[in-house]
Chain A
């Protein structure tokens, strides 16, 4: 099937997914409210902490909020696109995954397009508002180069976090269950990025750069935009964000496909 047909099919599938989600109006609205409450909560905690310390590892309150805004901006978009992978293990467990294998399209694509998390749009808009507010407070001069760089690194961030969701879901092809790994890996990794990496021990920073590359989601790109130093790492490391995202997502995709071929030889 040609790429254009896939694009067309993607929009048809996600619009069906959105309509399906809208069927449960109460749950839908509660989810939006829940997301916004959770994020505001984190921001307030941050503020309380910084009120005490004023600066954290040379990062001021608004600089940290900027960091946070980039993180939830890309996470918000990532959830819209990739959250369905979190429930892959449920499909495998109750045998409904097979349906993706009897249809003449790529199962990764089919699975991804089955759900489009509309409610996360609320979160997305919320993070956009914070982002605009913070950039005004920080008097950032937005040259076209900076805007392009920001967009590219947000895409990088989406791919890194999306890749992580895909990687974790792929574990289910081997172990049948994988949601626990979400809480073991994804949750702490995202919490880590709420604060500038510079406050953590060197080993943690190193892991966040080269093992679970969440440093590239917000810390490194934000340091470039705010012209802040990144001890232990070269200043220009943030420019690699989009590339890291692309490579990481490709790896995740390959692992997922490998898992799928294992599934096909073992069943569930």
Chain B
């Protein structure tokens, strides 16, 4: 059953045109020209209860704008949004009770106070019962290790600690939906891993629906089964991550280290795309030629020291989609 439904949503902003230079600045002080910017053009999707969905796209693609419309901060220019049966911007306060929000870049906690005080204030703001508060605090303390910094003022926390505190704070009132806007930004490898484990766990144990935006493809690969990819305010892909890998992951790379350096390496079905000393990168399409066939061809004439076959990471697939567009890529993948 869909818990979030987005239908033909569009969001325009009017932006003042700025002119450069002193004269330009003076001119725009007197008379300003506005231009329309379409942050989100026409996006539709629906998300079922209990899903973890990666909402990704390059900077300025409209990710945050969409999240803001789902949380009720912004009103869409047109289209329909339904979150947990409510229109977020019409029932903003009611909607707030059923969502948790974490903005990775900005803490929601009381900056100058010991961390525990933020939790206690949020308990009051969300009217969380003592019993529920205690249950949640116990669980989060155990999984996130909150006790090591509960008495430290938020401004003195490390980024990793602050993110842990922020995500715990967003879940105190047991929301069925959690929005995470770049939850792992700036974290080190260990802290990222902790964060991912926690997100997975609450999704699994509590059936919380999670929508996360991120630039870290590892987040997507480790957490989500489904991703929605947007670019220039439009949806370019919506589906399983396995699917996109299956479709675009046909082009593999064989990396070989040869004993001797060659003038050129000619292979049937493969193409050398890069060479460095005795190391060669050979691109091939899995459907046309198998890796073992290629290796056989090479070993027939050369002695091989070492070799590996590389599957493209989701990261490189997505950066190709950003650069070449999804449609073009579909065509080239078929060929």
Interface residues of chain A, those whose CB is within 8 Å of chain B, are: 1, 5, 8-9, 12-13, 16, 19-21, 23-24, 95-96, 98-99, 101-106, 110, 261, 264-267
Contacts and interface: CB of A to CB of B under 8 A. Distances in A.
A267 B153 contact: no
Contacts of A267: 13, 65, 68, 74
Contacts of B127: 1, 5, 104
A219 B323 CA distance: 69
Q: State which size class the interface on B falls in.
A: 20 to 34
A102 B103 CA distance: 11
B171 to A, nearest CB: 13
A23 B152 CA distance: 12
B310 interface: no
Given A9-B125, A99-B103, 13 more contacts: A9-B124, A13-B121, A21-B112, A98-B106, A101-B72, A102-B72, A102-B73, A103-B125, A104-B94, A261-B75, A264-B74, A265-B74, A266-B14
A102 B113 contact: no
A101 B13 contact: no
Interface string B244-259: 0000000000000000
A101 B73 contact: yes
A96 B105 CA distance: 10
B72 A266 contact: no
Of B14, B65, B77, B92, which is in contact with the most chain A CB atoms at under 10 Å from its CB? B92
A103 B68 CA distance: 13
B106 A99 contact: yes
A267 B110 CA distance: 23
B157 to A, nearest CB: 15
Given A98-B68, A104-B125, A264-B89, A20 B110 contact: yes
Contacts of A103: 93, 96, 125-126
Of the candidates A20, A95, A104, the one having the most CB atoms from chain B within 10 angstroms of its own CB is A104
Contacts of A23: 112-113, 153
B101 interface: yes
Contacts of A9: 124-125
B45 interface: no
